Chains A and B, each alone.
Chain A
Amino acid sequence: MLAINNIEVVYDNVILVLKGVSLHVEQGSITTLLGANGAGKTTTLKAISGLLRTERGQVTKGSIEFNGQRIDGMRAFDLTALGVAQVFEGRRVFEHLTCEENLIAGAHVQRDYGKVRDGIDRVFQYFPRLKDRRYQQSGYLSGGEQQMLAIGRALMSSPKMMLLDEPSLGLAPMLVEEIFGIVSRLVAAEKLSVLLVEQNATMALGVAKHGYVIENGRVVLEGSAEALKKNSDIREFYLGLNEVGSRKSYREVKHYKRRKRWLS
Chain B
Amino acid sequence: MLELAHITKTYNGSGGETVYALNDVSLRCERGSFVVIVGSNGSGKSTLMNIIAGSDTPDTGNITVGGKKLLSMPEHRRAATIGRVFQNPFQGTIADMTVMENLALAYCCGRGFTFKPALTRQLREEIRERVAGIGIGLEDRLTQSMSSLSGGQRQALTMLMATWRKPRLLLLDEHTAALDPRSADLVLNLTGRIVAERGLTVLMVTHSMQHAVLFGERLIMMHHGQIVYDIRDGEKRRARPSELIARFEELRRADRMDESVAGLLRAQYH
Are A and B subunits of one complex?
no
Chain B contact residues, CB within 8 Å of chain A: none
